């Protein structure tokens, strides 16, 4: 028996001014996306902005539903829109942020497992990681330069499924 270890690395920044211009711009656009969130049930408003290889930016926000599981997270709203509108254009980077009604979101918002799985599909499709920038409403910012690999180090992937 031995162990398999994979390292997850996130860059940590204490404020938005420390980010590259491109990351900062995307994070500000994610903040804008929060305004279109429809979250009357959780009152947790998430915004996501994607930068595509052709320079287009796509924004998405969480959309809830009274039949709770029918709602969708901001990341999947954005990435499915990108996949269906620009099927041949790679996603380069993604910024995610959130705010809530009743408290301040002080820590970076991590994507849920279902979103990570969905995002990773496009990393595989375009053979490149999606740089990910995460922040709460305030507080420190995390950047993954290796995309979902930092959050899902042992992710599901079966090469043969792509061939059948
Ligand atoms: N949410 C997202 O939009 N992204 C995530 O990665 C986690 C959760 C949304 C779903 C729901 O509308 C609200 O946040 C509370 O879970």
Closest CA to 60 of 164, 52, 1, 68: 52
At residue 162, the pLDDT reads 75
Cross-sheet strand order for the sheet of 91-100: 11-13, 141-144, 131-135, 91-100, 44-52, 57-61
Establish whether residue 98 lines the binding site of ligand 1, counting it when its CB lies within 6 angstroms of any ligand atom.
no
Question: Based on C-alpha coordinates, what's the Rg of the chain?
Answer: 16
Domain range for 155: 11-160
* 55-71 tens-digit pLDDT: 999 999 999 999 999 99
Catalytic site residue 75? Answer: yes
Specify if 118 maps to a domain.
Answer: yes
Ligand 1 atom 13 nearest Cα: 44
Residue 6 placed within a domain? no
Question: Ligand 1 centre from 73 Cα, in Å?
Answer: 5
Q: What is the pLDDT of residue 143?
A: 98
Residue (of 82, 58, 81, 62) closest to 72 by Cα position: 62
Per-residue pLDDT tens digits for 91-115: 999 999 999 999 999 999 999 999 9
Q: Which token pair is 58?
A: 């796509």
How far is it, in rounded angstroms, from Cα 133 to Cα 61?
Answer: 15
* pLDDT confidence band for 159 (50 / 70 / 90): confident
Q: Which of 7, 18, 32, 75 is catalytic?
A: 75
Task: Give me the CATH number covering residue 79.
Answer: 3.40.140.10
The reported pTM is 0.95
Q: Measured over all CA atoms, what is the biggest interatomic distance in the chain, rounded to whole angstroms?
A: 51
């Amino acid at each position: 028996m031995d162990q398999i270890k994979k390292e997850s690395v996130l860059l940590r920044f204490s404020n938005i001014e420390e980010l590259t211009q491109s990351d900062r711009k995307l994070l500000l656009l994610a903040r804008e996306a929060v305004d279109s969130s429809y979250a009357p049930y959780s009152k947790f408003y998430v915004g996501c902005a994607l930068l595509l290889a052709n320079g287009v930016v796509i924004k998405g926000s969480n959309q809830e539903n009274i039949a709770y599981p029918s709602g969708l997270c901001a990341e999947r709203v954005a990435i499915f829109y990108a996949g269906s509108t620009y099927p041949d254009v790679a996603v380069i980077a993604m910024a995610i942020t959130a705010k809530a009604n009743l408290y301040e979101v002080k820590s970076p918002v991590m994507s849920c497992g279902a979103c990570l799985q969905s995002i990773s599909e496009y990393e595989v499709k375009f053979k490149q990681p999606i740089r990910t920038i995460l922040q709460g409403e305030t507080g420190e910012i995390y950047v993954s330069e290796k995309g979902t690999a930092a959050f899902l180090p042992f992710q599901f992937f079966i090469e043969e499924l792509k061939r059948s």
